[in-house]
Amino acid sequence: MARQNIYDNETFFGEYRKLREREVNANNLFELPTLFSLLPDLEGKKVLDLGCGSGERCIDYLKKGAASVTGVDISEKMLAVAEAENNDPRITYLKMPMEEIGSIDDVFDVVISSLAFHYVEDFGGVVANVYRLLRDGGIFLFSQEHPLATCYSGKGDRWTRDENGKKLYANIADYCVERRNDSTWFVEGVQRYHRMFSTIVNTLCDAGFRILKMAEPYPTEELVKKYPEYYDLYHKPDFLFVKVVK
Amino acid sequence: MARQNIYDNETFFGEYRKLREREVNANNLFELPTLFSLLPDLEGKKVLDLGCGSGERCIDYLKKGAASVTGVDISEKMLAVAEAENNDPRITYLKMPMEEIGSIDDVFDVVISSLAFHYVEDFGGVVANVYRLLRDGGIFLFSQEHPLATCYSGKGDRWTRDENGKKLYANIADYCVERRNDSTWFVEGVQRYHRMFSTIVNTLCDAGFRILKMAEPYPTEELVKKYPEYYDLYHKPDFLFVKVVK
């Protein structure tokens, strides 16, 4: 089973860090505010962060009252940044692929994952382990690349444009063909797994979760006035959020 | 509030009847088999069919053991066909818009609706009434046009084709703009309401339902070999099904 560790690629790591450090990016504008708006009350809670990367969210969760945070990531480089810049006695960083969290011998109140599951081939396996790691009534909240984004194969045109280059349509092909798409994002061969909406929902329901909320964030009108390039997201949202309860 | 009754339009009614009478159509190939595969056990159950049209499904539900079926439709013409062709002492046909089912003074075990909700503006209102009309533990199963289909505005090209006319991409625009789309289907001005996936899911969850299953049917490989034109559905499914429990 593929366990991608693209974040330990030297070029990818450098470029990704630069992207996330830009003040204006889709993560800061859409992903993070939506993540925070969907967070359950973290006061006194034991939190597990899957795909924690450099640990900024682990610190955020402590600030929101979490009693402890366990951050899991496959990337040594990202965890080195986490240990250097976002360490705290209440945070434990674990280097492991998400596919192996079944080996964690603990129970959590809240499991959160930001933009990591589209890298995971065995979504059902991870979901089953999250269910096992949560206490009854515990909350599981994750974001991933939107299915209208993961279905992009990396080949052909992603957009149909008018003669002035304005994006008219998102070109959607093979939405119903679930597959691994290898695309270029800073480096070649970044692997994303495309799953249909219904597969994501059914995997969660079949594991025993109850869906509480979904979100597909898009910009406000004010934001589009300020950054017209983000009108794209009305055609094809970048992110999907799902919040469920055990 | 708009309460569309396009099925009482003479031209629409005639063309629609012809379409549904064709042996090979998307309803027979994908919608109906999926609907039947998702049906709960109907043995001895009181069933409510919302948007029952000419009543074929009401008869089907009786054959599957339902004790009684109440069929609701806004269209006098469709109900006239239902009374003439699909009558049974255990079936009651009611002429009313779905927006008024709150006036029904009864409780049902199962509520089913096939391809009607994309015509309804006040989806939340209908869902709240369905919840009230169901007994605890009752099942609500519906299909609607897929959100990738309802977001088609009726303007511009629906597909990007290669030089031979082969469909390469579904042209998706303004998926995140929820709205009424007026399009031409047999007649002008057929009104469909576009809602995002997350809106459909959240409306059901907020009303108190628990999601059990979703489906976005697409053809099997064998079927595409027989009817290559249906490969389109891999790019953009026609139907969305949701099954929930009170």
Nearest neighbour of B235 by CB, restricted to A160, A175, A236: A175
Q: All domains of chain B, ordered by start, with CATH?
A: 6-245 (3.40.50.150)
Residues of B in contact with A157 (CB under 8 A): 169
Mean pLDDT of B135-156: 93
In whole angstroms, give the CA distance from residue A207 to residue A129. Answer: 9
Quick one: pLDDT at residue A2?
A: 54
pLDDT > 80? residue A183: no
* Percentage of the residues of chain A whose pLDDT score is greater than 70: 97
**Tens digit of each residue's pLDDT (9 = 90 or more) over B162-204:** 899 889 999 999 999 999 988 777 677 788 999 999 999 999 9
A90: which 2 tokens?
Answer: 């209440």
B148 contacts A175? CB cut-off 8 A: yes
Quick one: pLDDT at residue B116?
A: 94
Residues of B in contact with A173 (CB under 8 A): 168-170, 235
Closest residue in chain A to residue B212, using alpha carbons only: A205
Do the beta carbons of residue B178 and residue B196 sit within 8 Å?
yes
Write down the ipTM of this complex.
0.93
Quick one: pLDDT at residue A198?
A: 98
The whole-angstrom distance between A137's CA and the closest CA on chain B is 15
State the amino acid at position A79 in one-letter form.
L
A124: which 2 tokens?
Answer: 């059902």
Quick one: pLDDT at residue B155?
A: 80
Least confident of A185-194, A219-228, B213-222: A185-194
In whole angstroms, give the CA distance from residue A150 to residue A142. Answer: 16
Mean pLDDT of B107-133: 97
Closest residue in chain A to residue B236, using alpha carbons only: A175
pLDDT > 60? residue A17: yes
Closest residue in chain A to residue B175, using alpha carbons only: A235
**Tens digit of each residue's pLDDT (9 = 90 or more) over A73-91:** 999 999 999 999 999 999 9
DSSP-derived secondary structure for chain A: --B--GGGSHHHHHHHHHHHHSSS-HIIIIIHHHHHHHPPP-TT-EEEEET-TTSHHHHHHHHTT-SEEEEEES-HHHHHHHHHHS--TTEEEEE--GGGGGG----EEEEEEES-GGGBS-HHHHHHHHHHHEEEEEEEEEEEE-HHHHT--SSS-SEEE-TT--EEEEEE--TT--EEEEEEESEEEEEEEE--HHHHHHHHHHHT-EEEEEE-----HHHHHH-GGGGHHHHS-SEEEEEEE-
pLDDT > 70? residue A233: yes
**Tens digit of each residue's pLDDT (9 = 90 or more) over B193-209:** 999 999 999 999 999 99
The whole-angstrom distance between A177's CA and the closest CA on chain B is 7
Do the beta carbons of residue A37 and residue A64 sit within 8 Å?
no
Nearest neighbour of A176 by CB, restricted to B173, B213, B237: B237
